[in-house]
Structure 1
Amino acid sequence: MENEFTFALGPVDIGTSIITTWGIMLVITVIAWLSTRHLDMLPGKLQTTVEGIVVAIDEAIAAVAPEHGRQIMPFIASLWLFLIIANLVGLIPGLHSPTRDLSVTSALAILVFLSVHWFGIKTQGLKNYLRHYLSPSPILLPFHIISEFTRTLALAIRLFGNMMSLEMAAVLILLVAGFLAPIPILMLHIIEALVQAYIFGMLALIYVAGAIQSQQLNPPE
């Protein structure tokens, strides 16, 4: 895990992974502002591209949570877009993907963990949401609680491990083969980065949808 110290912000040490993350957030914000500043009934290339991305994400969310797509769309879409850029930014010379840093992937996993319960409580109310932890039997309560933490841990470690191993493999291959095979390595990196972003975002979507729909799946007796 590489997170070189850059400067201190009070008691907090700011490393390269955090700076890169801030940069990605700024890029997404600027692109969103530019693409929505002048919307037109006859869209240009930028608006067409953005609308295509939004439609694709909306369809993916609708397939999992058709009745709550508008509610969870901003969170899931933002997460997916951030992960795609974060996973691919390592292709830029001098930069490393922040998702190869365990602290970053842990923060993303914790964000998903909190969002799951936020959406669940917001949709069902606290009492109804907590009831699903006692279904189908109160005996399973400890297992439900353990599963919440283990899947959060798995989210963080899976993304971190895959992105770290991907960059290490690319470096090792380049050291052995030099620059004789840069294109296959580049394609492998792009494909794997997109796959890992999709998996993380889809798992987050499934967890959030499960929390929202838990009362429908386990109605009170």
Structure 2
Amino acid sequence: MIGPGLLIPIAFRIGPLAITQTVVVTWLLMLALVIFSWLATRRLRVTPGPLQVAVEGAVTAMDEAVRSVLPEQASQVLPFIATLWIFITAANLAGLIPGLASPTADLSTTTALAVLVFLSVHWFGIRSGGLRAYLRHYLQPSVFLFPFQIISEITRSVALAVRLFGNMMSLDMAALLILLVAGFLVPVPILMLHVIEALVQAYIFGMLALIYIAGAIQSRETTKDT
């Protein structure tokens, strides 16, 4: 059976509610990430093993990336941005597993992620400077620019969702065509490009989210100065 929209297969139904393959893969990914996180952190040692070294290196790299943009608020923003990076990376790479499709190749998933970023931008902005100061920055430098500020907020969120969806859908289609034409062994070097692009797309999405949040937080200082 085929779901509405962009022909997403329906895995099963719960009464009138259709559960698509994207939802099932997303649930499996979240479960796998929770189990991995528990296994990787349950026995932390002063002298780390290979797994702990890899995890600490990844967390350190993400922390440094966030601090390069928001040095003072990094501890507040890091959990959200790091979660985005980890989940999107796993979702992008899921398409390499035979029989699975990347959840990020489904527009509903990327739209949900973009909505989360949209809400988080306002949440961090209000949390940083208060509701009144945050709303005031929409009227700077002129009240006549307010409609354009709103349009900008909406369009960049739409672009965030469509960019990730378009790139991952094309990557999954290209990988599927290569496997169908050349088999499983010949295209291994080419499929490595899929891995690299999946990592790049996750990084870009997270960095854009970080930049949007930084803009919302720093708008408080701009409003104060004016």
TM-score class, shorter: over 0.9
Q: Secondary structure at the match of 1:17?
A: helix
Q: Which residue of the partner structure matches residue 153 of structure 2?
A: 148
Q: Which residue of the partner structure matches residue 124 of structure 1?
A: 129
For 2:128 and 2:99, how far apart are their aligned partners in 1?
44
Correspondences of 1:107-118 after superposition (within 5 Å): 107-118=112-123
- Measure how far apart 1:186 and its partner are: 1.0
Q: Is the 8 A contact 1:2 1:101 kept in 2?
A: no
- Structure 1-normalised TM-score? 0.94
- The aligned amino acid for 1:203 is L
CA RMSD across the alignment: 1.6
Q: Which residue of the partner structure matches residue 39 of structure 1?
A: 44
For 2:174 and 2:212, how far apart are their aligned partners in 1?
31
Does the alignment pair 1:188 with 2:183? Answer: no
For 1:179 and 1:21, how far apart are their aligned partners in 2?
25
Q: Which residue of the partner structure matches residue 4 of structure 1?
A: 9
For 2:222 and 2:148, how far apart are their aligned partners in 1?
18
For 1:214 and 1:28, how far apart are their aligned partners in 2?
34
Does the alignment pair 1:210 with 2:215? Answer: yes
Q: Which residue of the partner structure matches residue 54 of structure 1?
A: 59
Of 59, 69, 77, the match for 1:72 = 77
Indicate how the Cα distance of structure 1 residues 163 and 42 shifts in structure 2: closer, same or farther if over 3 A, else same: same
Of 132, 135, 140, the match for 2:140 = 135
Of 51, 63, 67, the match for 2:68 = 63
For 2:21 and 2:196, how far apart are their aligned partners in 1?
24
For 1:61 and 1:129, how far apart are their aligned partners in 2?
22
- Structure 2-normalised TM-score? 0.92
Q: Which residue of the partner structure matches residue 92 of structure 2?
A: 87
- Name whichever of 21-30 and 103-112 sits farther off: 21-30
For 2:34 and 2:20, how far apart are their aligned partners in 1?
21
Indicate how the Cα distance of structure 1 residues 180 and 82 shifts in structure 2: closer, same or farther if over 3 A, else same: closer
User: What is the CA deviation profile of residues 144-180 of structure 1, one whole-angstrom value per residue up to 9, with x for unaligned ones?
Assistant: 0001100000011000001111111223344444557
How many residue pairs get aligned? The number is 221
User: What is the CA deviation profile of residues 67-108 of structure 1, one whole-angstrom value per residue up to 9, with x for unaligned ones?
Assistant: 100001110001100011100011111111000000011000
Structure 2's unaligned 5+ residue stretches are: 1-5
Indicate how the Cα distance of structure 1 residues 140 and 80 shifts in structure 2: closer, same or farther if over 3 A, else same: same
Structure 1's unaligned 5+ residue stretches are: none
Of 2, 18, 32, the match for 2:23 = 18
Q: Secondary structure at the match of 1:66?
A: coil
Q: Secondary structure at the match of 2:66?
A: helix
- Measure how far apart 1:184 and its partner are: 2.6
Of 94, 102, 105, the match for 1:97 = 102
Q: Secondary structure at the match of 2:60?
A: helix
